[in-house]
Chains A and B, each alone.
Chain A
Amino acid sequence: NAGVTQTPKFRVLKTGQSMTLLCAQDMNHEYMYWYRQDPGMGLRLIHYSVGEGTTAKGEVPDGYNVSRLKKQNFLLGLESAAPSQTSVYFCASSLWSGEQYFGPGTRLTVT
Chain B
Amino acid sequence: GENVEQHPSTLSVQEGDSAVIKCTYSDSASNYFPWYKQELGKRPQLIIDIRSNVGEKKDQRIAVTLNKTAKHFSLHITETQPEDSAVYFCAASLNDYKLSFGAGTTVTVRA
A residues with CB within 8 A of B: 31, 40-45, 48, 50, 58-59, 90, 94, 96-100, 102-105
CA distance A43 to B100 in the complex (A): 8
B residues bordering A, Cβ < 8 Å?
A: 1, 6, 9, 32, 34, 42-46, 49, 89, 91, 95-104
Note all chain B residues with C-beta closer than 8 A to A50: 97
In the bound complex, residues from chain A placing their C-beta under 8 Å from that of B95 are 97
Instruction: Determine the distance from Cα of A31 to Cα of B95 in the docked complex, in whole angstroms.
Output: 13
Residue of B43, B46, B100 with highest tally of chain A CB at under 10 A: B43
B97 near A103 with CB under 8 A, answer no
Q: Which residues of B contact A94 (CB under 8 A)?
A: 97
CB distance from B43 to the nearest CB of A (A): 4
Q: Which residues of B contact A59 (CB under 8 A)?
A: 1, 100
Complex interface: chain A residues within 8 A of B98 (CB): 45, 48, 58
Q: Looking at the complex, which one of A43, A44, A97 makes contact with B44 (CB distance below 8 Å)?
A: A43
Given the contacts A42-B89, A42-B104, A43-B101, A102 and B44 also touching, CB distance less than 8 Å:
yes
